[in-house]
Amino acid sequence: MTVPPCRSCGSFDVETVLSLGKTPLANSLVAPEHLDEPEPTFPLDLAFCAGCSLVQITETVPPDVLFRDYVYFSSYSDTMLRHATALADELVAERDLGPESLVVEAASNDGYLLGFYRERGVRVLGIEPARNVAAVAEERGIPTIAEFFDTSLAERLVGEGTRADVFHAHNVLAHVAGLNDFVAALAKLLVEDGIAVIEVPYVKDMLDRCEFDTIYHEHLCYFSVAALDTLVRRHGLELVDVGRVPIHGGSLRLRVAHEGASEPTPPVSELLAEEQRWGVSDVETYRAFAAKVHRLEGELVGLLQSLRSSGARIAGYGAAAKGSTLLNVFHIGPETVEFVVDRSTQKQGRYMPGVRIPIAPPDRLLTEMPDYVLLLAWNLADEVVAQQADYRARGGRFIVPVPVPEVLDP
């Protein structure tokens, strides 16, 4: 099958390095009344562009299918809330933000980040295409436009006199099919001396920790600093700072400004040089990752089958998209994992896509006491394990699936 051109630079020098088969949409949890209906599945193939080093999937599911009705609410995660409040405090102090300033966030979810700015007296505007999630943000007092962020919307806002002193784009750039349009829109909306803060999962962490389950149809791209540097420069912007943060299994936090508006900090050139050393532009780096994924499948499935054969009961924690990828790609169904628990009331009572494992509240772990819990939301391992102290005190054990399967002591 012909691989489409690169989503960023348009090069046709793109090679598929890992095929995960055909999977359902990772966040399309199944309602009980739809259990008898077939689910659509789509190819999930990872590719590498030799032209700009961007790692990407080859299939584009229409955004209206993926994001207009969404089940992920950031405010259910204590880790995300701590992450957001610390960042808001940092930006308010650093940029001297006040009532005349405006902070805009694309893919603002339920307003969890913007709410911290509002509490500090800063004007905010959210842009969130999932109408059900945008409605929740509005109920919380966060002005929210229920649309996709693109150049058309940016031009409309600028025409109305709206421009951003600070622009946030957290875990959204990877979801955007029109990368160049999104970055062009950011450049239009940002004031000349403004700053954009972008967070994306870091492709190097995905490779090093074998985080293959972060690959799903919403995540179209997997970024390196090199790929992002090329992308933003195309639109008159430049990276002025970059750091690594632990959120989502390892992410980049980048600051982007209009070209020449701010002097880049040393970490930008340092990380770019480091990437060249570890092989960011070498396709063999990504072929080696594919081999690690295939080894992990044998190790994890073998462990679960051994436990089940010995009579152990297994549940899962976290009806997250990464959990959907892991269960479907490794063909782990209800014969192995009896149920999955999740704190989100939006998910409880539904079923995991494809494998149709039921989703329940976390208290089911104590009422049923499975012997093991497969930690599908491994990026929140510390938070989840702390919350489930009673389960562990009674002998329950967690299995962390990546980078290699690990059974935590009770």
Q: Is residue 5 included in any domain, yes or no? A: no
Residues 231 and 339 in one domain: no
Residues 130 and 191 in one domain: yes
- What CATH number corresponds to the domain at position 238? 3.40.50.150
**Dihedral (Cα; 406, 26, 182, 247), 10-degree rounding:** -20
- List Cβ neighbours of 70 (8 Å cut-off, separation of 6 or more): 27, 130, 132, 133
Residues 164 and 293 in one domain: no
Predicted pLDDT of residue 295: 97
Predicted pLDDT of residue 264: 96
Q: How far is CA 170 from CA 74, 218, 277, 376, 402, in A?
A: 11, 14, 27, 22, 24
| Last-in-domain residue among 235, 265, 295 | 265
Predicted pLDDT of residue 410: 78
Q: Is residue 313 included in any domain, yes or no? A: yes
Q: Is residue 40 included in any domain, yes or no? A: no
- What CATH number corresponds to the domain at position 302? 3.40.50.720
Residues 248 and 293 in one domain: no
Predicted pLDDT of residue 64: 72
Q: Is residue 132 included in any domain, yes or no? A: yes
Largest CA distance in the chain: 67
Spans in the chain with pLDDT lower than 70: 1, 67-79, 248-249
> How many domains are there within the chain?
2
Residues 258 and 184 in one domain: yes
Residues 260 and 289 in one domain: no
Whether the Cβ atoms of residue 209 and residue 403 lie closer than 8 Å to each other: yes
Predicted pLDDT of residue 79: 67
Whether the Cβ atoms of residue 277 and residue 271 lie closer than 8 Å to each other: no
Residues 330 and 371 in one domain: yes
Predicted pLDDT of residue 77: 61
Predicted pLDDT of residue 63: 75
Residues 250 and 337 in one domain: no
Residues 252 and 290 in one domain: no
Q: Is residue 152 included in any domain, yes or no? A: yes
Task: Convert the pLDDT of each residue in 242-287 to its tens digit.
Answer: 999 887 668 999 999 999 999 999 999 999 999 999 999 999 999 9
| Residue 160, CA atoms < 13 Å, CB-side half-sphere | 8
Predicted pLDDT of residue 69: 56
Predicted pLDDT of residue 285: 98
Q: How far is CA 192 from CA 163, 186, 196, 237, 369, in A?
A: 10, 11, 11, 11, 57
Q: Is residue 297 included in any domain, yes or no? A: yes
Q: What does pTM read for this prediction?
A: 0.90
Residues 185 and 308 in one domain: no
Q: Is residue 241 included in any domain, yes or no? A: yes
Q: How far is CA 347 from CA 139, 152, 321, in A?
A: 20, 33, 12
The domain in which residue 129 lies consists of 74-265
Q: Is residue 197 included in any domain, yes or no? A: yes
Which among 246, 241, 276, 270 has a CA at the least distance from the CA of 256?
241
Burial 233-242 (b: 16+ CB within 10 A, else e): ebbebbbbbb
- List Cβ neighbours of 195 (8 Å cut-off, separation of 6 or more): 91, 95, 165, 166, 167, 240, 255, 256, 257, 262
Residues 252 and 293 in one domain: no
Could you tell me the sign of the dihedral formed by the alpha carbons of 343, 348, 354, 356, in that order?
Answer: positive
Residues 240 and 323 in one domain: no
Predicted pLDDT of residue 115: 94
Cis peptide before 40 (omega within 30 of 0): no
